[in-house]
Amino acid sequence: MTVPTVGIQAPNLPPKPRPSLFAIGGTLAAIAMTIVTARSVGFSFGGIVTNLGRKNSVIEGLLSPDWGQIWSRRSRAPFIETFQLAVLGTATGSLLSLPLALWSTRFGNPNPFTRGILRGFNNVIRSIPDLLWALLFVSAVGIGALPGLLALFFFSLAVTTKLTSDTLDGIDMGPIEAANATGANLSQMLRTAVVPQILPAYSSFVLYNFEINLRASAVLGLVGAGGIGNRIEFFRGRGEWEELWGLVFMFFLVVFVVERISVTLRRRLI
Amino acid sequence: MIRFEDASVTYPGGVLALRDLSIEVDAGEFVVIVGLSGAGKSTLIRAVNGLVPLTSGKLQVNGREVTELSRAGMRELRSEVGMIFQGFNLVERTTVLNNVLMGRLHRVPTWRTLLGMYPKADIDIAARALGQVEIIEKAYTRASDLSGGQRQRVGIARALAQEPSIVLADEPVASLDPPTSHVVMRYLQQISRDLGITTIVNLHFLDLATAYADRIIGLRDGMLVFDGPGSACDAQVFEDIYGRSLTADDTMHKQAAL
């Protein structure tokens, strides 16, 4: 059934608001900045086209990758190491991130001084990218898996703390008041009134963090911090592109499978 | 026993929520506080368990001077005072039983809380509390799967699990429909009578107040304007509390019929 609208005049809408000066200015500034930066880095489509036509052993390797690398015994060990690094880095980093995120909230830490210190610490570790962590620890403790683990630990800590803090901003404050009213202490309140509220989101962040760590570990090896990246760097140094691409395909496959599993799990969590 | 002496509360920003209030509530009394929104009902109730500190005056609860309590002393006091909220304040994502066990926190060691390993004795107390509000079969249901009335009964069970000597209820039926409101009010009244628990309930419907209260306290702009039995609550008292005469909007029954 349709409601007859004939004969009913639509009321006049108030005049449409103009786009704000801020929006116009912001859009223009973004366009201008893109043009200026493209010029200053010497970007040109011509360069890409001419370079594509040249003979290039890297691209040739890509066309005939060495599939044998997938089952090669010498590649398996660094793969396992990559996995171990990702699991350990995620587990340790995200375990510590939960109290860290809780203690940087107003309700989880009534002391403004220590809260400020914790928030500052979170901001500092967040601004350091994974590769820089790896470089720092390679210089500090030497090459191998240890600097990779330390890098992933701090990187996970930063990522999970940030995501968890954002979730904590949006929780229901009612149960907190209820727990405080029963005479619970701070830890008991956080455990019973706050943690159950954020646990699904937090678990999802841990899984997501594991995905990032697995991918990051490919790069960590390039600076000598262990894992599959070491092996990639080894082939790269020798110019063995067929082997390198075989390994990269294998890595791609592993990351793809892990990501699919993780995405499915995360969808069930939230 | 609860005794306010010239108690005042001024919120940051200068809002005077309580002005020189002096009242006494004896052990086992069932008191209903009525007043408009912003009259100071919530502030009064939250002063009793120290959630809102007094700016001046004195407040004695169960022989303790609330304004002078240490942090540990405050937790000790709060463990003796159960609280029920308008929005239920349950943890939606966890079970009814876990919500009720919150009432045991003060008696359970912190490490046990962190691991979620509650002693058998405390689980028994929580189960008994759920039995008292006749919702024990929902113990392992998630709080988010309950109806409003069931949620408030879980709220009452959480307060009872504290084995309190005082229960504070802040607008416990404001989110509920009229029949459910009566169910919840009857539970509160029955518990107060059976267990001798001092009960203070905030309500904004006067008819609900007169139906259940032994004693009604009327607040207006943070000041005491009425203190007496429900039977003494006539049209004049109503005007004192609400600043105007009674209309259909002010009683739950007439409002429900609309």
Distance CA B14, CA A152 (A): 50
Tell me what pLDDT residue A7 has: 66
User: Which of A177, A179, A200 has the CB atom closest to B105's CB atom?
Assistant: A179
Beta strands B215-220; B30-34: pairing state: parallel
List, in order, residues 6 or more apart from B39 with CB less than 8 Å away.
B219, B220, B221, B222, B241
Distance CA B46, CA B68 (A): 16
Closest residue in A to B71 (Cα) is: A185
Q: Is residue B132 part of a domain?
A: yes
Evaluate if residue B153 carries a pLDDT over 80.
Answer: yes
Asked whether the beta carbons of residue B89 and residue A196 sit closer than 8 angstroms, the reply is no
Quick one: DSSP state of residue B59?
Answer: E
3-state secondary structure of B30: strand
Q: Over pLDDT 90: what percentage of chain A? A: 44
What pLDDT, in 10s, does the model give residues A26-48? Answer: 999 999 999 999 888 887 777 77
Q: Is B113 on the interface with A (CB under 8 A)?
A: yes
Higher confidence at residue A189 or residue B232?
A189
Asked whether the beta carbons of residue A183 and residue B51 sit closer than 8 angstroms, the reply is no
Asked whether the beta carbons of residue B106 and residue A177 sit closer than 8 angstroms, the reply is no
Residues of A in contact with B93 (CB under 8 A): 196-197, 199-200
Identify the sign of the CA torsion B169, B170, B171, B172: negative
Q: What is the mean pLDDT of residues B242-247?
A: 71
List, in order, residues 6 or more apart from B96 with CB less than 8 Å away.
B130, B135, B138, B139, B140, B141, B142, B143, B146, B154, B157
Q: Within 13 Å, how many C-alpha atoms sit on residue A86's CB side?
A: 27
Q: Is residue B55 part of a domain?
A: no
Q: Is residue B36 part of a domain?
A: no
Residues of A in contact with B88 (CB under 8 A): 174
Are the C-beta atoms of residues B165 and B27 closer than 8 Å to each other? yes
Query: Domain total for chain B?
Result: 1
Angstroms from A261 CA to nearest CA on chain B:
24
Tell me what pLDDT residue B256 has: 53
Angstroms from A106 CA to nearest CA on chain B:
16
For A166, list phi and psi in degrees, rounded to 5.
-60, -40
Distance CA B72, CA A1 (A): 67
Residues of A in contact with B62 (CB under 8 A): none
Tell me what pLDDT residue B248 has: 62
**Distance set, CA B228 to CA A106, B21, B217 (Å):** 42, 15, 7
Tell me what pLDDT residue B250 has: 63
Higher confidence at residue A213 or residue A223?
A213
Evaluate if residue B255 carries a pLDDT over 60.
Answer: no
Distance CA B24, CA B1 (A): 7
What range does the domain containing B138 cover? 90-163
**Closest alpha carbon to A75 in A252, A230, A239:** A230
Confidence of residue A58 (pLDDT cuts 50, 70, 90): confident
Asked whether the beta carbons of residue B105 and residue A199 sit closer than 8 angstroms, the reply is no
Q: Is A129 on the interface with B (CB under 8 A)?
A: no
Distance CA B41, CA B202 (A): 6
Mutate to test the interface with B, among A182, A187, A195, A270 (most CBs of B within 10 A): A182
Asked whether the beta carbons of residue B93 and residue A199 sit closer than 8 angstroms, the reply is yes
Q: What is the mean pLDDT of residues B198-217?
A: 90
Q: Is A72 on the interface with B (CB under 8 A)?
A: no
**Closest alpha carbon to A66 in A216, A238, A184:** A238
Residues of B in contact with A98 (CB under 8 A): none
User: Which of A172, A182, A193 has the CB atom closest to B79's CB atom?
Assistant: A182
Distance CA B189, CA B228 (A): 18
User: Which of A174, A177, A191 has the CB atom closest to B113's CB atom?
Assistant: A191
Q: What is the mean pLDDT of residues B202-228?
A: 90
Q: What angle do the packed helices A73-103 and A195-220 form, to 10 degrees?
A: 140
3-state secondary structure of B8: strand
Closest residue in A to B166 (Cα) is: A182
Residues of B in contact with A183 (CB under 8 A): 74-80, 105-106, 162
H/E element holding B9?
Answer: strand B2-10
Residues 130-169 (B) with a CB less than 8 A from some CB of A: 158, 162
ipTM above 0.85 for this complex: yes
Asked whether the beta carbons of residue B83 and residue A192 sit closer than 8 angstroms, the reply is no
Domain ranges for chain A: 67-269
Long-range contacts of A129-133 (CB under 8 A, 24+ apart): A130/A155, A130/A216, A130/A219, A130/A220, A131/A219, A131/A220, A131/A223
Tell me what pLDDT residue A33 has: 94
Decide if domain A67-269 falls under CATH 3.30.720.210: no
Evaluate if residue A134 carries a pLDDT over 50.
Answer: yes
Q: Is A203 on the interface with B (CB under 8 A)?
A: no
Q: How far is CA B28 from the centre of its chain?
A: 14
Q: DSSP characters for A239-258?
A: T-HHHHHHHHHHHHHHHHHH
3-state secondary structure of A216: helix
Q: Is residue B19 part of a domain?
A: no
CB atoms within 10 A of CB A132: 14
Tell me what pLDDT residue B196 has: 94
Q: Is residue B153 part of a domain?
A: yes
Angstroms from A176 CA to nearest CA on chain B:
8
Angle at A89 between CA A248 and CA A133, to 5 degrees: 80
Residues of B in contact with A177 (CB under 8 A): 51, 85, 89
Tell me what pLDDT residue B258 has: 46
User: Which of A174, A192, A199 has the CB atom closest to B105's CB atom?
Assistant: A192
Q: Is residue B155 part of a domain?
A: yes
Q: What is the mean pLDDT of residues B13-17?
A: 89
For B22, list phi and psi in degrees, rounded to 5.
-130, 110
What pLDDT, in 10s, does the model give residues B78-108? Answer: 999 999 999 999 999 999 999 999 999 999 9
Tell me what pLDDT residue B253 has: 64
Q: What is the mean pLDDT of residues A171-194?
A: 96
Asked whether the beta carbons of residue A183 and residue B78 sit closer than 8 angstroms, the reply is yes
What pLDDT, in 10s, does the model give residues B52-75? Answer: 999 999 999 999 999 999 999 999
Closest residue in B to A200 (Cα) is: B93
Asked whether the beta carbons of residue B102 and residue A181 sit closer than 8 angstroms, the reply is no
Q: Is B43 on the interface with A (CB under 8 A)?
A: no
Distance CA B54, CA B48 (A): 10
3-state secondary structure of B95: strand
Of A214-223, B59-68, B133-142, where does mean pLDDT reach its minimum?
A: A214-223
pLDDT averaged over every residue in chain A? 87
H/E element holding B169?
Answer: strand B166-169
What pLDDT, in 10s, does the model give residues B106-116? Answer: 999 999 999 99
Q: Is A198 on the interface with B (CB under 8 A)?
A: no
Asked whether the beta carbons of residue A178 and residue B102 sit closer than 8 angstroms, the reply is yes
Q: Is B62 on the interface with A (CB under 8 A)?
A: no
Tell me what pLDDT residue B8 has: 94
Are the C-beta atoms of residues B107 and B81 closer than 8 Å to each other? no
Tell me what pLDDT residue A252 has: 87
